[in-house]
C-alpha cells in the first residue's frame, strides 16, 4: 500500500526555474512531513520539514506548501541551480507512534545550466 | 561528529548466501532503523531497534533480522539471499523519547548486489 504518493517521477528545468514536486498522503495519523534530498551514492538528507498546523514554511530557496484538508503538500525550489540536481523524496511520519519514515516514490530533478 | 556510519560500502553475494550489514549511529542517538531502497524507489522501512529490542517491523520476511548492541550500534542480517534483495540498505538513527519528534539522520548506505 503506497501511503504517500509523489509526482512527477522526473523533472527537467532550466537554471533559475521553479520546480514543483507534489505529494499526497492517506493516513491522517501522520503529523510530520519532511522532504529529503538524495544524491547518487549517498543517503537521504533532510532538506526541510513541516507540521500540518502550518500552511507554508520557507528555508532559503526551499518552500513547503501544506493543504491539510486535501491531505496534500508540495515542495517549491526557487531560483533552481544545477547543484540542486538530485532525487527528492517527500515523507510522512506519525510522531506519536514508532516514528518510522514513510517515503514517497521520489522525483529525479535535473536543472540544466 | 562522524554522523551515521555504515559498513561495508558495497557487497556482492550469490543467491542463498547470508549477509551482515553494520551501522554505527550518530553520537548521542539511541535508536536505529533500517530501510531498503531498491533502484529508482523510495526507501522502505524494515525495522527499528531501541534498547536492544526490535520495536516495530515493516513488511519484510523473517529472513531479515537484526540486532542492537549496548553501544547502540546495530546489525542487519539477511539469510537465504534472493536476487530481489539487491538494493541500497540504509541505516537511520535518532534519539527517542519525549513528546516531540527528533529528526532521523541517514547513513550513506550499503549497496548489496545478489548474483
- Could you state, in order of their start, the residue ranges of all structural domains in chain B? 16-98
Band of residue A85 on the pLDDT scale cut at 50, 70, 90? very high
Is A106 in contact with B103 (Cβ distance < 8 A)? no
Which residue range forms the structural domain that includes residue A99?
A: 4-112
- Is residue A36 a contact partner of residue A49, using CB atoms and an 8 Å limit? no
Q: Which residues of B touch A29 (CB under 8 A)?
A: none
Q: How far apart are CA B53 and CA B43, in angstroms?
A: 22
Task: Give the per-residue SS3 of B28-79.
Answer: CCCEEEEEEECCCCCCEEEEEEECCEEEEECCCCCCEEEEECCCCCEEEEEC
Mean pLDDT to the nearest integer, A38-67: 94
Closest-CA residue of chain B to A31: B101
Nearest to B31 by CA among B45, B5, B49, B56: B49
Q: Which residues of B touch A36 (CB under 8 A)?
A: 106
Band of residue A96 on the pLDDT scale cut at 50, 70, 90? confident
Name residue, grid cell 496534500. A72
Please give the grid coordinates belonging to residue B26. 550518530
Other Cβ atoms within 10 Å of B34 Cβ, number: 25
pLDDT beyond 60 at A1: no
Please give the grid coordinates belonging to residue B8. 561495508
| Count of domains observed in chain A | 1
CATH number of the domain where residue A85 is located: 2.60.40.10
pLDDT beyond 60 at B87: yes
Q: How far apart are CA A75 and CA A89, in angstroms?
A: 10
Q: Nearest CA of chain A to the CA of B104: how many Å?
A: 8
Is A101 in contact with B101 (Cβ distance < 8 A)? no
Please give the grid coordinates belonging to residue A51. 507540521
Is B44 in contact with A103 (Cβ distance < 8 A)? yes
State the count of interchain CB pairs (< 8 A) between A and B. 55
pLDDT beyond 70 at B99: no
Band of residue B2 on the pLDDT scale cut at 50, 70, 90? confident
Task: Quote the pLDDT of residue A2.
Answer: 62
Q: How far apart are CA B21 and CA B100, in angstroms?
A: 30
Architecture of domain B16-98: Sandwich (2.60)
Amino acid at each position: 500500500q503506497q501511503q504517500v504518493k509523489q509526482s512527477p517521477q522526473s523533472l527537467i528545468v532550466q537554471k533559475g526555474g521553479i520546480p514543483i514536486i507534489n505529494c499526497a498522503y492517506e493516513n491522517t495519523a501522520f503529523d510530520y512531513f519532511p522532504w529529503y534530498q538524495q544524491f547518487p551514492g549517498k543517503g537521504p538528507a533532510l532538506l526541510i520539514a513541516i507540521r500540518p498546523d502550518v500552511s507554508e514554511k520557507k528555508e532559503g530557496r526551499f518552500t513547503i506548501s501544506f493543504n491539510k484538508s486535501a491531505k496534500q503538500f508540495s515542495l517549491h525550489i526557487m531560483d533552481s541551480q544545477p547543484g540542486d540536481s538530485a532525487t527528492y523524496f517527500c515523507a510522512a511520519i506519525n510522531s506519536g507512534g514508532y516514528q518510522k519514515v514513510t517515503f514517497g516514490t521520489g522525483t529525479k530533478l535535473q536543472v540544466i545550466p | 561528529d562522524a554522523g551515521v556510519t555504515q559498513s561495508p560500502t558495497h557487497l556482492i553475494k550469490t543467491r542463498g548466501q547470508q549477509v551482515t550489514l553494520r551501522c554505527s549511529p550518530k553520537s548521542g542517538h539511541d535508536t536505529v532503523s533500517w530501510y531498503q531502497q531498491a533502484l529508482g524507489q523510495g526507501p522502505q522501512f524494515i525495522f527499528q531497534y531501541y534498547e536492544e529490542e526490535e520495536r516495530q517491523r515493516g513488511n519484510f520476511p523473517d529472513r531479515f533480522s537484526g540486532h542492537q548492541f549496548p553501544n547502540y550500534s546495530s546489525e542487519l542480517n539477511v539469510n537465504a539471499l534472493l536476487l530481489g534483495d539487491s538494493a541500497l540498505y540504509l541505516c537511520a538513527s535518532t534519539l527517542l523519547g519525549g513528546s516531540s519528534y527528533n529528526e532521523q539522520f541517514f547513513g550513506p548506505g550499503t549497496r548489496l548486489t545478489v548474483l
